[in-house]
Structure 1
Amino acid sequence: MFRQALTISGNTFTEAIRQPVFTVLVLIGALGLVLNVFLAAYSMEPGRGDNKILIDLGLSTVLLVGLLLAAFTATGVVAEEIEAKTVLTVVSKPVPRPLFVLAKFLGVTAAIGVAHATLSCIFTLSLRHRVMQNASDHLDGPVLTLGVGGALLALLLAAAGNYLYRRSFTSTFVALLCLTQVLAVLGVSVLTPQWGLQPPLAELTRDGGQVGQVLLGLFLLFEAVVVLTALCVALSTRLGQLPTLLIALGVFFAGLIAGALSGWVDQRLSLPPGVGVFESLIAVWNADIGIGLKPVYTLAKLVYLALPNLQFFWPADAISQGNSMIEDLSGRFTLAPILSVSGYALLYTVALLGAAVALFQRREVG
């Protein structure tokens, strides 16, 4: 059974990164991260404010591209395979349907993980380069040479492999781009902007460890993308590409404001901080308010209860305010916040995969 799961996951991974839309979205995300360095130079607080905007724009770009990759990739390797009846070649063999769904999810997640790693490396390079605020500012030579040079090298090698050995250009390019950008980050970590040598961990401790906080934030964003991937896989077992994309976008935007909606209800009812969602629901129906407001408040609470609260995974506010995600109020090291968010992501992913298995279990594929 393990070998079957590994085979299906590997084929799904290969099929996912071969999709032209996968490469296009990765390139769009990479271009957006590069342009953010120039777009962030127009804040009302030059210097620190520009870099805050750069972090916000970069994290937003990575998260949005991850959502689009999840929607398009999941439908490309699940929904289209069901519609084309090619899934029959798998489920007609002794392969349980739950195993098929889980293996598909793992393959899609691995492909999106490669894209996320690539974009995270490009984002890290953009943070190292910083926003150019004055005409006298100099370009960061190592960032441009290793980052842009690595991308061009990946392009040339992928083109050569396609021409000489008939290898898939898109999958080869995506894999090589990820590799070259990882090497670029490692190279930049030991080089100063003037091509001097520096300790490998110097970048992580710069500006109070801001880069290290950003890397933790990117890890949290990947967990959010994994949750959205599980959602898209579940939707793809029954729906096509366009409905899956629309519902995923709706859940994405609703998940960003779900916490704010719940907090708004608590504030209107003057509930104490930290009150549970079920206690607040009881308080809504016991409150002395208009009968028309009770359904509105209840709907806001149900949205918070049912949809993933993506604000848990959003690190930009903490990074911009200089709050550490691995220290408590007294400054002691703790992984409690990271572990709690990871546990939330794990439970939500398991729940969505359970729904995906249930939806696919009775799906007619013949």
Structure 2
Amino acid sequence: MDPINGSFEESPDGLLHEAKGSPLKATCSMIQLLGVAKNSYLQTLRQPVYGIIVLVTLGGLAMAPTVTGWTLDDDNKMLRDLGLSTLLIQGLFLACFAASSVLNTEIDDKTVLSVAAKPIARSVFLSGKFFGVFGAIATAHYLAGLVLYMVIRHGVLQAAYEKSDLTVIFLGLIPLASMLILGAVLNYLFDWRYLPTVITLFLITGSFSTLVLLAIDRDWKIQAYEVTQIVDPLPPEISDPAMLRGIVEFRPDPGQAHLTGHKGVIVRKLWKGPITEQDLEYLMGLSSSIVWKNDCRFLADKAREMQGSEIFKSAILVLGALGLLTAIALAASTRLGLMSTFLICLAAVGVGLTVDHIIRPIADSGATWARIAANALPNFQMFWMVDALADDRVIPWSYVGAAMGYCAVYSLGLLLLGIALFETREVG
């Protein structure tokens, strides 16, 4: 019997049941998945520990320029590394606490029965929990990323002649700090929950402040987003601007445009990212002049020192690592409590950061167990770009895409493991 385009089938008792694999069943499963994900997302945001971890993270990032101002090397590199580490640690704690709260605690308290007893597959239930928890972690990661941008833009005052970036202070830190007071006022007047309200205000204010800061420089002028290097003069071999291939552009000084061997500057737009080694070799090969080669090298170094786009890519990769941690924490929470889940996640990060340095060389020497371990263990080093940033390397977008693909596949495997563990878990 096929009353509605094959969506139902008749059972031996004469009743109509939804056919397996029907579009209606898939739609219902998707609605259930989104419902569980939304509920888990809001449940995580309302946890007091979530707000505390986020506020501590933001406070730590705001204090980072002071803490990192005592190194014997480049303080701003230390600031960058500390900021990315803070993002990872925040995600680690949130993944453990959130996964334990939305799953293990509900199982122990039998409150999961209110959902699991309904006609919803446990696989759909656990998948919804994953997306909800990861969404909450991504929200915290986004907010911390905004503050990290403000902090890195301000930088560390390494000398007495350096001045604070007033644009960051007046448009970033002060508005965010004022949201703490506004949250308390809203809590008093309307009985709104303080921590979720403050985080929501932070998201709105932080996003707007960041957009404004992206548009202006520290002198309150429109941001140019370019680096320049004086060229005196442009080598005669470069007679056509097309020879530069858009890697850089040449701007002659006033009154020099009509002369051979123009004086001016070569310009690199920062939105194009740092100059790659291949592009740099091409530019240097346009002329045999040592001065031209040095000018190209100086411009490439200036572009790489900015590292804005590379830090952005690094933060995206850290989010991929947090996706893996969420899947690990959720799979562990189907059977274990908070502390056990935390220790497993901590061990996974520790081992995952050493796979390429310890296990991979052993695997290359021919050890079978090392090859299996190197491929089976989560490789968190793939998402950790501190070494690449320290060497001023360019992180290709193709690499970011490959790493996020690895995150998706590995997280899917962990989620399937969690579903298998949850299917046999007694919840009654």
TM bin, normalised by shorter chain, reads 0.7 to 0.9
- Matches of residues 334-345 of structure 1 in structure 2 within 5 Å? 335-345=397-407
Is this contact kept in 2: 1:261–1:301, CA < 8 A? no
Matching residue within 204, 213, 229 for 2:326: 229
Cα separation, 1, equivalents of 2:139 and 2:149: 15
Q: 1:257 aligns with which of 349, 354, 359?
A: 354
Aligned residue for 2:69, secondary structure, equals helix
Over residues 281-300 of structure 1, what are the superposed CA-to-partner deviations in whole Å (9 max), with x where a residue is unaligned? 34xxxxxxxxxxxxxxx3x5
- Partners of 1:361 and 1:266 lie apart in 2 by 35
Partner of 1:166: 191
Contact persistence 1:14–1:171 (CA under 8 A):
no
1:281 aligned residue (367, 390, 397): 367
**d(CA) in 2 for partners of 1:172 and 1:307?**
39
Aligned residue number for residue 346 of structure 1: 408
1:110-259 correspondence to structure 2 within 5 Å? 110-199=135-224, 207-208=303-304, 209-259=306-356
Residue 290 (structure 1) aligns with: none
Contact 1:235/1:356 (CA < 8 Å) preserved in 2? yes
Name the CA shift for 1:24/1:303 in 2 (closer, same or farther; >3 Å): farther
Q: Which has the larger strand fraction?
A: 2
Query: Is 1:312–2:372 an aligned residue pair?
Result: no
Alignment correspondent of 2:293: none
- Kindly provide the CA deviation profile for residues 89-111 of structure 1, in whole angstroms up to 9, marking residues without a partner as x: 10111111111100011110111
Q: Residues 75 and 236 of structure 1 are in contact (CA less than 8 Å); yes or no, is this contact kept in structure 2?
A: yes
Q: Is the 8 A contact 1:189 1:200 kept in 2?
A: no
Q: Does structure 1 conserve the Cα–Cα contact (< 8 Å) formed by 2:363 and 2:371?
A: no
Aligned residue identity for 2:317? L
Q: CA RMSD in A?
A: 1.9
Amino acid at match of 1:144: I
Q: 1:203 & 1:132 partners in 2: Cα distance?
A: 23
1:261/1:304 contact within 8 Å kept: no
What is the Cα deviation at residue 41 of structure 1? 2.2
> How far apart, in 2, do the equivalents of 1:183 and 1:218 lie?
19
CA apart distance, 1:301: 4.6
1:227 partner letter: L
Contact kept? 1:59, 1:218, Cα under 8 Å: yes
CA contact (8 A) 2:95 2:326 kept: yes
Partner of 2:76: 51
Asked if the contact 1:234/1:357 (under 8 Å) is kept, the reply is yes
The CA deviation at 1:322 is 1.3
Q: Shift in Å at residue 239 of structure 1?
A: 0.7
After TM superposition, the score normalised by the length of structure 2 is: 0.73
Q: Secondary structure at the match of 2:110?
A: coil
Contact 2:61 2:151 survives alignment (8 Å):
yes
C-alpha distance after superposition, 1:250-296 (max 9, x if no partner): 111111112111244257x4xxxxxxxxxx334xxxxxxxxxxxxxx
CA contact (8 A) 2:360 2:374 kept: no
How far apart, in 1, do the equivalents of 2:270 and 2:91 lie?
A: 26
1:4 maps to: 32
Give the conservation status (yes or no) of the 8 Å contact 1:227–1:345: yes
Give the 3-state SS of the residue equivalent to 1:41 in structure 2: coil
Question: Do structure 1's residue 41 and structure 2's residue 69 form an aligned pair?
Answer: yes
How far apart are residue 40 of structure 1 and its match? 2.2
> Residues 176 and 202 of structure 2 are in contact (CA less than 8 Å); yes or no, is this contact kept in structure 1?
yes
Instruction: Give the distance between the partners of 1:244 and 1:62, measured in 2 at CA.
Output: 19
Structure 2 counterpart SS, 1:238: coil
Return the alpha-carbon distance in structure 2 between the equivalents of residues 157 and 40 of structure 1: 31
Show CA shifts across 1:203-227 (max 9, x none): 7567435111100110000010011
Q: How many residues align?
A: 328
- 2:125 is aligned with what amino acid? F
Larger radius of gyration: 2
* Alpha-carbon distance between aligned partners in 1 of 2:337 and 2:153, rounded to the nearest angstrom: 41
Query: In the alignment, which residue of structure 2 is the partner of 1:292?
Result: none
CA distance in structure 2 between the aligned counterparts of 1:324 and 1:73, rounded to whole angstroms: 34
d(CA) in 2 for partners of 1:4, 1:200: 46
Structure 2 residue ranges without an equivalent (≥5): 1-28, 227-268, 274-301
Identity of aligned residues (%): 33
What's 1:26 paired with? 54
Q: Which runs of 4+ in 1 moved over 6 A?
A: 200-203
Structure (1/2) with the larger helix percentage: 1
1:357 corresponds to 2:357: no
Aligned-partner Cα distance in 2 for 1:95–1:156: 43
Q: Distance in 1 between matches of 2:373 and 2:360?
A: 12
Mapped to 2, the partners of 1:51 and 1:203 lie a distance apart of 19
Distance 1:212 1:187 in 2: 18
